[in-house]
Chains A and B, each alone.
Chain A
Amino acid sequence: MDLENQKRVKEITEKYGAENMIVLIGGAEAESAGLAAETVTAGDPTFAGPLAGVPLGLKVYHPVEPEFKESVDADVYEDQIGMMEMVLDVDEIVAEVKAMRDEFTKY
């Protein structure tokens, strides 16, 4: 996750409280989505940004995960994400992001 985004996540979390945060990740690759999920839960694995060594433990989802899909209007979902569901390796992305969430999310 780029350093500027890490800074924004950190600032918003400090302002609104970690328990009130949900991070939605748009990464198209499982690896990059997993890294972003790790960054906002366990801390920046590359130790380069403001979240290095800062385990925020935030709730984190990718829009192709069932938890997200079921909580939004089905038509809007189909309109905005339906095509990408066909394109992305959904199973791989879900596995990566869920693994990070299960291990590091505190809320």
Chain B
Amino acid sequence: MNYSVVKGTSYILVHAPDMVIHNGTTQTTEKYLNPDSEYLKTLPNHLRSYEEAVNYMPNQVYIGNHKPEVLKSIEQPWYDKGAEGAKRDGKFGEIMPQDEFIGLVKIVDVFDLVVLSKEFTEEIKSKLENHPLLNEGLFARLKTGQDMEDIERYVKEQDAEGLYNDKKLVGCVKKAHDVDVNLSAHVLLENLVSKASGTLAALHLLHKNDLKPEEVEYVLECSEEACGDMNQRGGGNFAKAIAEMAGLTNATGADIRGFCAAPAHAIISAASLVQAGTYKKVMVVSGGSTAKLGMNGKDHVKKNMPVLEDVIGGFAVIIAENDGVNPMLRTDLVGRHTVGTGSSPQAVITSLVTAPLDKGNLKITDIDKFSVEMQNPDITKPAGAGDVPTANYKMIAALGVKRGELERTDINDFILKHGMEGWAPTQGHIPSGVPYLGFARDEMLEGNMDKAMIVGKGSLFLGRMTNLFDGTSIVMEKNAGKLDDTKGISEDEVRNLVAEAMRDFASHLLQG
């Protein structure tokens, strides 16, 4: 059997401080409930500059300029420590500043809903013109901008959502319908940001992995947004919209949803589509979320630290036919939290971690690294949510103890050896399992690692349709280097099957 392989990955961030203020739900809720609150007044003083966000080690790890292991050597908190050799461009992607990103939001808008001022357009033109990934076709979509008076009028009188840079209004997103809330300016801004950041990730994936756009046959998008109108609120399809912008002329696609577990579901689906021979190359892609910007801002401000949730995340992965080189996705070692699994942490970890390992007669110590919810503890610890990856590793280790694969005294060593410090922004689906795919691929290509497990979990109950939790997982393995040439079925077997069918047919004739 030939497994599919992870042929390339990309990871991007967008620094979006003004969107923290205007589009993060913690802030918009506060504006609605307590418009004069102390928090809203002090928040702007806690926002980082672009340079500070770049010079932050977890962000540098996310875009691939440092390996995750570097974080172990830096004492927490990390936000006041800086990052050696920090830069905008990374091995896996980039950290885009907000002004250029607003331009990109305009570029990916095909309905003239995004309006930027003439001055701002002029300002970002020279920057975007030099961006290596924007071809002429995309760049031309920036157009020339409109008068500021028009933009102010759209925001004041026509329910448009303002776009701000450096605390100044520079443009807006107009609503697309008079009464349909699904096409309100607020929803469209969220969706366009998701599309733009997903497009940026897709462009980096193509560029960084010498992939021709026309080679991609199918796209699975796995963010947490919904696009549609009042008659089909989650109609979709972000995947095709992003594919169009990235020039994937031979691709179609669909959206996969499942809260934070969606990327893991998408990876497994893509791996299966390729392994089955349905498509040769499938892209899994996702942009990020404005709503989650500054989600724990109140705690960060209270603890007099910078608001660290100031970046939008995105990633893309290309899954391709087995080339005998790139790491394989073991579709026979897949874990899933089923309806009957139950909600206790023990049941959850069993279903996601040890159940797939049992299928391959593996122990938890046979997995070199577990990529769980790789949320940055710098963000979550001050907010009272603890260190999420470490909590996951403790649970995996404790289950190992219960199974007799580890001694209780080995738990800390296990975490050090098989775990990692989290580095991904708390953008829900973005930290969930997938941030390590790029590093795991590198380590396996260099021969430093045999197996990693990608685990995605999702809080389905937030949608109020079920109380259930969800999750799925898959083992990624160094390529064995040999391709399986045997056909799925031998000639003898075919002969037998045909003979059996003939006999069956003949017996029916006799009975008739």
Contact = CB atoms under 8 A, between A and B. Distances in A.
B398 A83 contact: yes
Interface residues of A, number: 13
A86 B344 contact: no
B386 A84 contact: no
A83 B395 contact: yes
B389 to A, nearest CB: 13
Interface stretch (A7-15, A27-35, A53-61, A99-107): A27-35
A6 to B, nearest CB: 15
Given A28-B386, A32-B384, A87 B401 contact: no
B344 A80 contact: yes
A74 B23 CA distance: 49
B359 to A, nearest CB: 21
Interface string A84-99: 1011000000000000
Question: Interface majority SS on B: helix, strand, loop or mixed?
Answer: helix
A49 to B, nearest CB: 12
Contact of B386 (A29, A35, A81, A82): A29
B344 A81 contact: yes
A86 B408 contact: yes
Interface string B385-396: 110000100110
Interface string B405-418: 00010010000000
B346 interface: yes
A32 B347 CA distance: 23
Contact of A87 (B342, B345, B384): B345
Interface in A18-68: 28-29, 31-32, 35
A35 B384 CA distance: 11
Contacts of A83: 345-346, 349, 395, 398-399, 402
Contacts of B346: 79-84
15 contacts: A29-B385, A29-B386, A31-B384, A35-B384, A80-B344, A80-B347, A82-B346, A83-B395, A84-B345, A84-B395, A86-B394, A86-B398, A86-B401, A86-B411, A87-B391
Interface of B: 342, 344-347, 349, 384-386, 391, 394-395, 398-399, 401-402, 408, 411
